[in-house]
Amino acid sequence: MLPAEMLISSFREAQSKLVVQTADLPLATLAQMVEDNAIDLQPGFQRRERWSPDKQSALIESFLLNVPVPPVYLAEDMSGTYTAIDGKQRLRAISDFVFGRLALRNLDRLTEAQGLKFDDLPSEIANSLRLRPYLRVVTLLKQTDPLLKYEVFLRLNRGGESLNAQEIRNVAFRGPVNDKIYVLSENAFLRQQLKIENDRSAAYREMSDAEYVLRFLTLSEKIATFSGSLVREMDEYMRRHQLDSGQAVENLAISFNKALDRCQAIWGENAFHRPEGQGWRDQTLAGLYDAQMIASSQITQQVADRAINRQADVQNETRALFNDAEFDKSVRTGTNTPARIRYRVNRMKEMLEAI
């Protein structure tokens, strides 16, 4: 097929898979949809911080001044409800204002509206906000190919206040597996090793704990065969398993908890940490996490019990692994290539089996 023909084919395929509906809606309609949970602003364990009242007020002032506001993008679920894939904070600000939870403050132009809530507005203005179509809403209908929904979400969030890969997966691949990942991420030992003390901790806000869970699940399934990007492989894992349920999801939890419990029992507070001088650096290395978690999941119970009973030997042999320049590189630089992931896991497993 000629390049031009391939381009036309890809264009036509995209046109057929992306089913979009566009509408201009009044603020009151959108606010009511948020209040009724017809639009979900909290897709599974969303951790983004809310806009400040000042930023919310600035948005409402834009509507009052008839200043154009970027459209909101929604994705329709199979159940007929909607998820905000871009514009969550705008929708929350609209709902908070219309339902009296926001008093306008620190306005740039309309200083006479300072301190007013929606019900305090003159009826002419309030009715206009209720009825006039102020905000464009672009909806990706449920017939849209799921991977295209994910790509739209990714492209929308490459500009402005970008979401990281795990935050995007959290919205794009909602379902039982995603929910279970966030439950597993609450493990006290994992949080300790990632220095998550509370909901304000960086690793919590950025969903690093959830991504560590997903790293393990992805590598457990694909370490022998995956090629290319680990980030892309994690995306593909979520796509494949998005709608898994029941025992399949519980089996994932059993596998993760078993590996993490073994790591805690074998390495204790030094799990996922590299040696530094006579001690251990107090920082989790993702590459070392992979090596210890996957190796721990692959060894027999007999090997695990022996390692637990010989903790001092394991600590010494783990330290010795870093004398291998290839192992050291595999956990510290360019760590997500298939060859380096397999190398570090195999070396860790060999060490445990030799204890």
What gap in Å lies between CA 350 and CA 132, rounded to an integer?
68
Whether pLDDT at 9 is above 90: no
Claim to verify: residue 331 and residue 296 sit in the same structural domain: yes
The pTM of the full predicted model, rounded to 2 decimals, is: 0.71
Whether pLDDT at 82 is above 70: yes
- Residue of 333 and 256 predicted with greater confidence: 256
Contact 235, 192 (CB under 8 A): no
Q: Which of 152, 180, 207 is the last residue in one of the domains?
A: 152
Whether pLDDT at 147 is above 80: no
Q: Name 137's bridge partners.
A: 23, 72
Claim to verify: residue 266 and residue 175 sit in the same structural domain: yes
In a domain, 8, yes or no: no
Q: Which of 152, 173, 188 is the last residue in one of the domains?
A: 152
What gap in Å lies between CA 181 and CA 35, rounded to an integer?
27
Claim to verify: residue 53 and residue 177 sit in the same structural domain: no
Q: Name 86's bridge partners.
A: 73
Q: What percent of the chain has pLDDT over 90?
A: 68
pLDDT tier at 44, thresholds 50, 70, 90? low
Is 71 exposed, middle or buried (CB count within 10 Å of its CB: 0-12, 13-18, 19+)? middle
In a domain, 41, yes or no: yes
Claim to verify: residue 205 and residue 303 sit in the same structural domain: yes
Q: Which of 152, 175, 194 is the last residue in one of the domains?
A: 152
* The residue type at 236: E
In a domain, 158, yes or no: no
Claim to verify: residue 145 and residue 177 sit in the same structural domain: no
Question: Looking at residues 21-40, what average pLDDT do you find?
Answer: 94
Q: Which residue has the tokens 């919310």?
A: 56
Mean pLDDT of the chain: 89
pLDDT tier at 167, thresholds 50, 70, 90? confident
In a domain, 6, yes or no: no
Claim to verify: residue 137 and residue 180 sit in the same structural domain: no
Whether pLDDT at 8 is above 70: no
CA distances from 185 to 66, 164, 209, 297 (A): 44, 17, 5, 17
What gap in Å lies between CA 174 and CA 134, rounded to an integer?
30
How high is the pLDDT of residue 228? 82
- Residue of 160 and 224 predicted with greater confidence: 224
Question: Looking at residues 99-126, what average pLDDT do you find?
Answer: 96
Claim to verify: residue 132 and residue 253 sit in the same structural domain: no
Claim to verify: residue 86 and residue 123 sit in the same structural domain: yes
Domains held by the chain: number: 2
- What is the span of the domain harbouring residue 258? 164-354
Whether pLDDT at 187 is above 80: yes
pLDDT tier at 13, thresholds 50, 70, 90? low
Claim to verify: residue 224 and residue 111 sit in the same structural domain: no
How high is the pLDDT of residue 16? 54
What gap in Å lies between CA 170 and CA 184, rounded to an integer?
14
Claim to verify: residue 76 and residue 183 sit in the same structural domain: no
Q: What is the 3-state secondary structure (H, E, C) of the chain?
A: CCHHHHHHHHHHHHHHHCCEEEEEECHHHHHHHHHCCCEECCCCCCCCCCCCHHHHHHHHHHHHCCCCCCCEEEEECCCCCEEEEECHHHHHHHHHHHCCCCCCCCCCCCHHHCCCCHHHCCHHHHHHHHHCCCEEEEEECCCCCHHHHHHHHHHHCCCCCCCCHHHHHHHHCCCHHHHHHHHHCCCHHHHHHCCCCCCCCHHHHCCHHHHHHHHHHHHHHHCCCCCCCHHHHHHHHHHHHCCCCCHHHHHHHHHHHHHHHHHHHHHHHHCCCCEECCEECCCCCHHHHHHHHHHHHHCCHHHHHHHHHCHHHHHHHHHHHCCCHHHHHHHHCCCCCHHHHHHHHHHHHHHHHHC
Claim to verify: residue 145 and residue 178 sit in the same structural domain: no
In a domain, 7, yes or no: no
How high is the pLDDT of residue 15? 57
Whether pLDDT at 280 is above 90: yes
Whether pLDDT at 94 is above 90: yes
How high is the pLDDT of residue 160? 47
Claim to verify: residue 174 and residue 231 sit in the same structural domain: yes
What gap in Å lies between CA 54 and CA 61, rounded to an integer?
10
In a domain, 213, yes or no: yes
Whether pLDDT at 171 is above 60: yes
Max mean pLDDT among 6-20, 102-116, 172-186 falls in: 102-116
In a domain, 85, yes or no: yes
Q: How many CB atoms lie within 10 A of CB 152?
A: 20
Residue among 116, 283, 255, 121 nearest 194 (CA) = 283
Q: What percent of the chain has pLDDT over 70?
A: 88
Question: Looking at residues 256-267, what average pLDDT do you find?
Answer: 98
pLDDT tier at 299, thresholds 50, 70, 90? very high
Whether pLDDT at 219 is above 60: yes
